[in-house]
Structure 1
Amino acid sequence: MQKYTQLSEENRYQIKALLDAGHNQSEIARTIGVHRSTICRELNRNVTNSNSEDKAYCPKAAQQLTDQRHADKPKHRRFTDVLKAQARQWLIEEKLSPELISGRWSVMGIDGVSHETLYQWIWAGKRTGDPADKGLYKHLKHGRHKRRRGNRQDSRGRIKGRVSITKRPEVVDTEPAITTISVII
């Protein structure tokens, strides 16, 4: 299986030359060493439509469009110490939930992190033993993890002192007498 690599500007000029030479997309893909769907996607994304009859692939314009798409896509945000200090303050003093903290950052125009990242940070602080973050989970509204399915120590839905149906008394097996109940309306 081939490893995925993005097309370079050189690859785009090769595509242009091979298209001008009359090669089809499969032949171009084999020559460059990429999957044929990569060539199909490249041509669909980057063919200029100056008019309906004159569709042309321009490698320079294709590279510029690709660079613009990469610049516009969302980037990974780092959870800095400044953001952690602010989140810690809002969690402890103002009793804000992680959802409200991430919402406040977006309203303020601060490039913060998601509420899920905040929850992971809070629960990791409980496990790692960092003194500043060790007790943050206590300031959450629910204060603890939700229980997970399949937990053998889980006691939800269990009746204390229950008796198996195989050990029920014989009286239960006898047919009861039919009784009528009158309802007053």
Structure 2
Amino acid sequence: MVCSHCGEVLREKLQQAGFTVEKVELGEVHLAEPINTDQQDRFAKLVRENGFDVINDQNSRLVEQIKQLIIQLVRTSEKLEGPLSDYLAQKVHRDYQQLSRLFSSVEGKSIERYYILQKIERAKELIVYGEMNLSEIAYELDYSSQQHFSRQFKKETGLSPSHFSEIKENRRISIDEV
């Protein structure tokens, strides 16, 4: 899940199906009690029917955790105190080289690329909202300068941020499709 609304919808569907949901967080569902094999199958089917996926193996969970950390980082005002690699290694208590290899093998792109794509999608959203100027967006997304932000935006989208702002077409990609 990438938003609280998605979590609430899933919570409601699971409760309607008879599951006792303790909490729904970004990327996780906590049930009140363990479920048997038949219930696991029903749970997985219901989750998939609602556009999500069940992640059971440890590597997939770790990749999902990395993705959720990056999404949270991009969508909050939290600023990195150092490199992204240090931030992630500290958060998941693993060596960054191991995380990087695993992420690339599962996702087919590097962690850094995923981070950039998330930042660009957030930038598109902020531009469409029109509440911030490009300098403020660059700062919000932790770019070193507006020029750096503009170059990266154009490289990824083919448009300058100001041109994107002018056309205001819905050119965003769903967060889970990045």
> What is the TM-score with the length of structure 2 in the denominator?
0.24
Query: Which structure dedicates a bigger proportion of its chain to helix?
Result: 2
> Which protein, 1 or 2, shows the higher relative CO under an 8 Å CA cutoff with sep ≥ 6?
2
> What is the TM-score with the length of structure 1 in the denominator?
0.23
